[in-house]
């Protein structure tokens, strides 16, 4: 009897030992994070040493003092700006529109997509806009040209566009480089001559596949320039791992851009002896989004989350990361592991030479769960988020 029970148990364990790896390998219900990406490949992310990460923290959790505005009146206000008369804010949202706050309510100011229709309504159901992003557009970075008053739009699907002060359907100004269409436009800025500097985060993944791009760590990203006089688009930096935000310095001698996967802020020189070269300006606390230059020439960097031990180790070991991603575990779970378990926002102010001047956090993710941009306007930080249905406003003097 004991022998039979022993054989039975051994058989059960043997079956489990065979079935579980087989189930994980086949993923019959397509539950893995990369089940829809048969050509997925994980790349090594050459992070800086863990010991070189910034040690500065906001011990007072000051972002919890932010005022949450426009709750549930809009979805995913990634980038925030004000026009030359100080009116606004203006912001691009999940359904593809650019919205304008007229002091009483949000109104539609512009569209990036000529095919925008009622199917783009983000309120239909949670995250329903994702499946139609390529139709509706997804405006990310937005900036006003300080000379012409035109609003420039970095749309993830429709390229770089502009629209006049009256709004309406935006006009594309560049949608490709060297005959190859852009895949994932993220952010832009404009210098005093009207040149547009912008990022194409990937030539493989679209914006709606941002989690897979985060997991892959691939290096097809680029920083580009559009010259309005020649109407030419050129590549300034290539082989980048998820480049995102970009901002021209106050004196116009350089611009900075964020490298998402590597978690660093880099400087590209436009003038002087170093013109045409780039260098690392700062190692960041985690995964950056947009960067904005304030009136003093300082740089506000939005950091969506701190680098976790899991993200650090899996970045250095792509084969292990790819194995983990093939397990029948949803992408959302892997993403939570990647960001350290829960969403939490950080904003950091840097000097033009890369020194940390101020850091603000919401470690618990109580109010500011996600940060994609920080715009300093008249003593207040306007904090945008790709994922949140609101805008956070933080007063630098500590008041709300």
The enclosing domain of 267 has a CATH number of 2.120.10.30
**For the residues 153-161, what does the mean pLDDT come to?**
98
Does residue 24 surpass a pLDDT of 90? Answer: no
Answer yes or no: do 305 and 194 share one domain.
yes
Answer yes or no: do 100 and 23 share one domain.
no
Q: Is residue 244 part of a domain?
A: yes
The model carries a pTM of 0.92
pLDDT band at 118 (very low <50, low <70, confident <90, very high): confident
- pLDDT of the residue at 19: 47
Q: Is residue 131 part of a domain?
A: yes
pLDDT band at 119 (very low <50, low <70, confident <90, very high): confident
pLDDT band at 21 (very low <50, low <70, confident <90, very high): low
Answer yes or no: do 58 and 24 share one domain.
no
Does residue 139 surpass a pLDDT of 80? Answer: yes
- pLDDT of the residue at 121: 76
Q: Is residue 197 part of a domain?
A: yes
pLDDT tens, 75-86? 999 999 999 999
Q: What is the 3-state secondary structure (H, E, C) of the chain?
A: CHHHHHHHHHHHHHHHHHHHHHHHHHCCCCCCCCCCCCCCCCCCCCCCCHHHCCCCCCCCCHHHHCEEECCCCCCCCCCEECCCCCCCCEEECCCCEEEEECCCCEEEEEECCCCCCHHHCHHHCCCHHHHHHHHHCCEEEEEECCCCCCEEEEECCCEEEEECCCCEECEEEECEECCEECCCEEEEEECCCCCEEEEECCCCCCHHHHHHHHHHCCCCEEEEEEECCCCEEEEEEEEECCEEEEEECCCCCEEEEEECCCCEEEEEECCCCCCCCEEEEEECCEEEEEEEECCCCCEEEEEEEECCHHHHHHHHCHHHHHHHHHCCCCHHHHHHHHHCCCCCCEEEEECCCCCEEEEEECCCCCCCCCCCEEEEECCEEEEECCCCCCEEEEECCCCC
* Dist. CA 71–CA 273, nearest whole Å: 48
Does residue 6 surpass a pLDDT of 60? Answer: no
pLDDT tens, 221-278? 999 999 999 999 999 999 999 999 999 999 999 999 999 999 999 999 999 999 999 9
- pLDDT of the residue at 31: 76
Answer yes or no: do 12 and 49 share one domain.
no
pLDDT tens, 363-391? 999 999 999 999 999 999 999 999 899 99
pLDDT tens, 191-225? 999 999 999 999 999 999 999 999 999 999 999 99
Q: What percent of the chain is modeled with pLDDT above 70?
A: 90
Q: Is residue 156 part of a domain?
A: yes
pLDDT band at 15 (very low <50, low <70, confident <90, very high): very low
* CA dist list (Å): 171 to 144, 156, 168, 190, 243: 14, 15, 9, 16, 24
- pLDDT of the residue at 282: 98
- pLDDT of the residue at 374: 97
Does residue 361 surpass a pLDDT of 70? Answer: yes
* CA proximity to 142, closest of 202, 100, 182: 100
pLDDT band at 127 (very low <50, low <70, confident <90, very high): low
Answer yes or no: do 171 and 148 share one domain.
yes
pLDDT band at 292 (very low <50, low <70, confident <90, very high): very high
Residue written as token pair 């990647």: 338
Answer yes or no: do 59 and 133 share one domain.
yes
Q: Is residue 141 part of a domain?
A: yes
Alpha carbon 320 to its chain's center: 25
* Dist. CA 268–CA 311, nearest whole Å: 27
- pLDDT of the residue at 62: 96
Answer yes or no: do 97 and 186 share one domain.
yes
pLDDT band at 23 (very low <50, low <70, confident <90, very high): low
* Dist. CA 357–CA 363, nearest whole Å: 19
- pLDDT of the residue at 291: 98
Answer yes or no: do 152 and 26 share one domain.
no
Does residue 125 surpass a pLDDT of 80? Answer: no
- pLDDT of the residue at 79: 97
Q: What is the 3-state secondary structure (H, E, C) of 79-117?
A: CEECCCCCCCCEEECCCCEEEEECCCCEEEEEECCCCCC
- pLDDT of the residue at 378: 94
Domain range for 191 is 39-395
Answer yes or no: do 15 and 105 share one domain.
no
CB 140 within 8 A of CB 154: yes
- pLDDT of the residue at 65: 95
- pLDDT of the residue at 397: 86
- pLDDT of the residue at 190: 98
Does residue 71 surpass a pLDDT of 60? Answer: yes
Does residue 59 surpass a pLDDT of 70? Answer: yes
Count up the domains in the chain and report the number: 2
On average, the pLDDT of the chain sits at: 91
Q: Is residue 325 part of a domain?
A: yes
Does residue 340 surpass a pLDDT of 50? Answer: yes
Does residue 97 surpass a pLDDT of 70? Answer: yes
> Does the bond joining 89 to the residue before it have cis omega, within 30 degrees of 0?
yes
Answer yes or no: do 9 and 59 share one domain.
no
Answer yes or no: do 184 and 95 share one domain.
yes
Answer yes or no: do 11 and 82 share one domain.
no
Does residue 14 surpass a pLDDT of 80? Answer: no
Q: What does the buried/exposed string (b/e) look like for 303-320 if buried means 16 or more CB atoms within 10 Å of the residue's CB?
A: bbbbbbebbbebbeebee
Q: Is residue 400 part of a domain?
A: no
């Amino acid at each position: 009897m004991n022998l039979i029970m022993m054989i039975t148990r051994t058989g059960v364990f043997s079956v489990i030992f065979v079935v579980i790896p087989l189930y994980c390998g086949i993923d019959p219900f397509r539950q893995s994070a990369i089940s829809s990406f048969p050509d997925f490949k994980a790349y090594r992310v050459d992070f800086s040493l863990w010991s070189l990460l910034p040690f500065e923290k906001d011990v007072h959790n000051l972002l919890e003092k932010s005022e949450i505005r426009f709750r549930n009146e809009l979805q995913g206000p990634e980038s925030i700006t004000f026009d030359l008369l100080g009116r606004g804010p203006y912001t691009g949202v999940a359904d593809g529109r650019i919205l304008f706050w007229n002091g009483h309510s949000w109104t539609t100011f512009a569209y990036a997509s000529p095919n925008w229709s009622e199917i783009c309504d983000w309120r239909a159901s949670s995250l329903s806009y994702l499946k139609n992003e390529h139709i509706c557009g997804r405006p990310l970075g937005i900036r006003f040209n300080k000379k012409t008053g035109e609003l420039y739009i970095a749309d993830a699907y429709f390229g770089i566009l502009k629209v006049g002060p009256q709004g309406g359907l935006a006009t594309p100004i560049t949608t490709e480089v060297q005959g190859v269409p852009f895949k994932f436009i993220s952010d832009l800025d404009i210098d005093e001559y009207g040149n547009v500097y912008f990022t194409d985060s990937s030539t493989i993944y679209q914006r709606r596949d941002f989690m897979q791009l985060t997991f892959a760590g691939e290096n097809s990203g680029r920083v580009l320039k559009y010259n309005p006089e020649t109407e030419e688009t050129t590549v300034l930096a290539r082989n980048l791992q998820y480049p995102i935000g970009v901002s021209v310095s106050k004196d116009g001698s350089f611009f900075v851009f964020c490298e998402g996967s590597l978690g660093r802020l880099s400087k590209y020189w436009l003038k002087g002896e170093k013109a045409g070269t780039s260098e690392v300006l700062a190692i960041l606390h985690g995964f950056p989004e947009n960067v904005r230059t304030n009136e003093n020439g300082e740089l506000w960097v939005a950091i969506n989350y701190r680098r976790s031990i899991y993200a650090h180790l899996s970045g250095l070991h792509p084969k292990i990361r790819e194995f983990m991603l093939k397990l029948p575990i949803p992408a959302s779970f892997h993403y939570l592991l990647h960001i350290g378990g829960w969403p939490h926002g950080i904003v950091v102010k840097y000097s033009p030479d890369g020194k940390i001047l101020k850091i603000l956090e919401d470690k618990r993710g109580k109010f500011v769960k996600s940060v994609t941009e920080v715009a300093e306007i008249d003593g207040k930080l306007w904090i945008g988020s790709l994922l949140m249905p609101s805008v956070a406003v933080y007063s630098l003097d500590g008041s709300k």
